[in-house]
Amino acid sequence: MIQSEIDPQIAAEHVQELAQQGLSFMGVDVFNSSMLLSLLIRFIANFLVCWIIIQFFYYKKSTRKDYYFTFILFSVTIFLLLFILQNLSMGTGFALGLFCIFGMIRYRTESIQIREMTYLFLIIGVSAVNGLSIDVDYTTLLTANLLFIAIVWGLESMIKQNASKIILYEKIALITPDKYHEMLADLKQRTGLDIISVEVGHIDFLRDVAYLKVYYQPKSDEINTIDHITKFS
């Protein structure tokens, strides 16, 4: 009778290794607990950071639900796309290339204002950082996300931008430089806005009208989305 000698330590290590590998199908793991846990933690953190930026900084002033919807979905899509590409050992350059393509998207339905484009780029950037930083420790990643939030909060709190509006002005005699202050007073009286300055644009001498761009101090932080829309007769 032959008795085989088996090292218990080697056997235990082998069993532990098989348990960690888990089930696989056609060479692909069916379940990987460490990767799934990393995905859930990073996804929740990324979603929370992007939601804070959109809810408390962007939506507070713009109150546009269409962009709210767009930013949230961009955040989720970019994060999951880059996270999966990173775990599939795709090149970082390829992933960043896709990130740049998404960042340059312009919708054909309407022109995107600079504020919306800035927040879109910010959301994509936050999601890309969280999706690609697989080898970065959680403390560093948390610090990076807090920096995003802190900088947006600081800029939104300290910098108060003037609003602008396009006006079709019929008193064409007042658009000359020597009557600037008279035109400014007339615009303030008729619009009720705290106008700071006025720029004269296109002049139509056939109809005796001119397009003016007025810069004014808004009475609230909410942004008027139709300030730059003109109506042609």
DSSP-H helix ranges across 104-191: 114-132, 138-158, 180-191
Domain extents in the chain: 10-158, 163-217
Of 18 and 217, more confident: 217
Residue 189, pLDDT score: 93
Average predicted confidence (pLDDT) for the chain:
79
Per residue in 85-141, pLDDT (tens digit) is: 775 555 556 556 655 665 565 544 456 777 888 898 899 889 988 988 878 888 999
In this prediction, residues 54-64 reach a mean pLDDT of: 86
Q: Give me the sign of the Cα torsion angle 116, 118, 121, 127.
A: negative
Per residue in 167-192, pLDDT (tens digit) is: 999 998 999 999 999 999 999 999 99
- Give helix 65-87 / helix 114-132 axis angle, nearest 10°: 30
- Give the rounded percent of residues in the chain with a pLDDT score beyond 70: 69
How many other C-beta atoms are found inside a 10 Å radius of the C-beta of residue 16?
Answer: 10
